[in-house]
Structure 1
Amino acid sequence: MTFVELILTVLNETEQPMTVDQIWSKADEMGLIASLHSAGKTPKNTMSAQLTCLANKGTSVGRFKENKTYRYFLKRSDKQISKDTSLHSMPGKQYKERDLHPLLVRFANTNEHFKAFVKTIYHETSIKGSKGENEWVHPDLVGFYFPYEAYSPLTRELAKQFNQNQYRLFSFEMKREVHYGNLREYFFQAVSNSSWANEGYLVALHFSKEEKFISELGRLSNAFGIGVIELNPDNVDQSRILFPARENQIDWDTVDKLVLLNKSFQSFLESVEGDIKAGKAHPGEYDPILADQQMTEWIDEKGIK
C-alpha cells in the first residue's frame, strides 16, 4: 500500500476532517501501516508530507487550519465523486453494510452457482484478543451448499455410497462500495477472512466502473482466487458474479480457530453438521430468505440504491 492509498482509505472510512496524528492512529487501528511500502525511519512524517502535497495540488484531499493545526478531509462534491470513484457516495445514504446482507442471502440461495443457505457472522460475539490479534479473521457471512436438497432419500443414500458428497462452504466479505481508495484494504480483508473456505468472495453494492479499476480488480481476483459479486438492488436475483472464485480445499485449522473465537460461526457449523446427518437442509437455521415483496420493502426502508 502506498501512502496516498492509506490516506484516501482512512479519510474515506471516517468521512470527517482529521489531523496527521488522527489519520496515522486510525490507519494503525485499521491495520494499514503494516502494509505500507516504506523503508523510511519516520513514515508518519512521510505521510504528512504526502498530505501537504495532495492538498496543495488541488486533488480530492482538502485541508483547513483550526487552532494552528491542519485538518485534512476528502472532498465530496458530485463532480469529484464522479471523477475519482464513479460511485454513489452521496449524502443521505444511511444504510449499513449489514443492511445489505439480506440481498446476498437471497442471491446466494437462488443463484445456480451457489444454491446456498447463508448465515450472518456477528463479530460482536467474538472473543476479544490483543490489539490486531483477531483483525481480518471473521467473514461477514458464510454459506453452505447442500447438494442433495431436491433428491429422494434413495438417491441421497446412493450418492453417499459412491463417495460423492460434494458439500461446499462459502465465505463472503460485505462492503457498500469499492473504489481505488479502498480497493486494496477491502480486497485483502476478503483474502484474510475468506481463504479458509471452498470459495471466498468480496461483495459490494457498488464497484467503480473505471476501466483501469476493473482491470486491477480482475488481476487481484485471478492472483488470489477471491471472487467478486456486485449486488443489484433493483433486481436482487440479477446480481452478478463479476469474477469467479477459485475453488480451494477447506483450511480446517482456520475453521477450528473461528469455532473457538466466534459463537455465530460455531452455530453455523452446528447447523451444517445437523443438516448433513439428517440428509436434508433446515433453512430455519440460517438467515431468512426474503420473498419479493419483503425484499422490496426492506430495500425501500433502508434506502438502498
Structure 2
Amino acid sequence: MYRLVVLLGFLAACKTESSPSEPPVGMPPLGEPPANVVGGFSIQLPVQQLAPGAETSPCWVFPIELTGPSKLVGGAVLRTMPGLHHGNITSRPKTGEGIRRCEAGSGNEGTDIINGGMVLFGSSTQKSGDEWYRFPDGEGYRIRDGFEIVARMHYLNPTDTPITVAPKYEWFTIDEAKIVHELGPFLWMYQKFSIPARATHTASADCYLPNDHPSHIVTMLPHMHQLGRALTGAYIGGPHDGHKFLDSQGYNPDDGVLVQYEPPVDLTDAQGVRFECTWQNTFDKTIVEGIGDNEMCMVFGYAWPANKAYTLVAEPDNCIMFPTPPPPGT
C-alpha cells in the first residue's frame, strides 16, 4: 500500500510539473503608490468649462519638474471629475519653456515615441474619480533628461448641465537600485472597421509575433466608446492556445477597464494573438473609426523587456506586430 501511495504521489507531481500553468487573470491595479518611492512629478490641467453636449480636444505642454534621484516611474494616478473622455499623456524632446498650448503641427503620440519619448498615462473612457497605475514591485518605465510632457486631452460633456473639468496627474518614481524589469509601452489598434446601422458587429484579427519574442505584458487598457460591448485578446499557439488573457467589456466609465497582470501575460511560447472588438450599434447610421458617435478599438499597455513591447496595427484581412521603437541612441 505504501508503495502505491508513493507511486501515485510521484505521478501526480509529474503531471503537475508537465501541465501548463493557468493563464494569468487581469485585475485592477492597487489604488496606492508603488513600493520604494523616492520622488516624482505632477501636472495640473487648466480649468475648462463645458456646456451641455460640448466636445473639445485641448493640448498642453508642461515641463517635467522631477523631485528625487530616480527616473524610473513605478506608478501614477489620475484624479478627475466628469467630463474627461480620455487623455493621452506622453513625453517628447524639449521644445520650449513653461506651461503652454501645443504648437500646430507639432506631431502626435506616435512621433513622440519614435523621437524617444514615453507614454506616461492613458485613462479609461469617461472615467471620473481616481485611476491608478501601480506596477508590480521592482517594475517601472524610464523618463529621460531633456524631455517635456505633452497632454493631449479629449473632453466631452454628455450631460444636460454645464460642468467643469480640470484633471490632475501624479507620477511616483522608485529606487533604481530595486528595479527588476524595465517596462516599454505598446499600442494595439484596429482600423478601417465599419459597423452597420442597428447591428452587432465584431472586428477580429489574427496577429503573429516576430521571431524571438519573450514579451511579458504587465498592464492592458482597452479603449472603446459607448457602443463597445467587448474587447478581447487570446493566445494563438503555445500551451494556452485559444485562451483569452484579456476579456473586457471595453467601456465602463463607472469602474474603468484598466487591468494589471501578476504574473504577467507571457507570450514567449505563443505564435501570436487574436485581437477582437465587438460593438452594438444603436444608431440608424453606419459607425466608423473616429470621435463623437463613432468608435475606436485600441489597447494601450506596458510590457517587459522594454525592447520586446509589441505594437499591433490591424485592419480587415491584415495585421502586423512590431517592437515599439526604442529611444534614439539606445
TM-score exceeds 0.5: no
| Larger strand share, 1 or 2 | 2
In the superposition, the TM-score normalised over structure 1's length comes to 0.25
TM-score of the superposed pair, with normalisation by structure 2: 0.24
